[in-house]
Amino acid sequence: MSALRSLSLAELEQVRLVLRGGSVVDWYRLRFESLEDVRTFVRISEGDPDEEAELARLDLPRTEAARYLQEKHSYKLPAELLTCDALDLFLYASEKKGRRRDVSVRRTAS
């Protein structure tokens, strides 16, 4: 029981999602509290948050998703989400960086 008390909310959520058998792509919200939490998650996922090649690999889905949303759905994405460090995206997704209303996705007039 004491081991459960030492788990963070993010860790409990990750355990729950893994036990449910869901994909990380389908996670509703990330719950990272700090950049160090993100770096630990990347390491556990067999990545190296200190390697430029790894950061570029993490950045590729953002680039592809942004292009898709802009071209197919006419979304205007906030500049800070397009230009921030790849690891910072995890903090935006956890609502620990930025304010939700400030970084919300907006549809441009067609």
pLDDT at 107: 52
pLDDT digits (tens, 9 = 90+) for 27-62: 666 788 899 989 988 888 888 999 999 999 889 999
Domain count, the chain: 1
List the domain range (segments joined by +) for residue 91.
Answer: 2-107
pLDDT band at 70 (very low <50, low <70, confident <90, very high): very high
pTM: 0.66
- DSSP string for 74-103: -EE--HHHHHS-HHHHHHHHTT-SS-TTTS
In sequence order, the β-bridge partners of residue 76 are 106
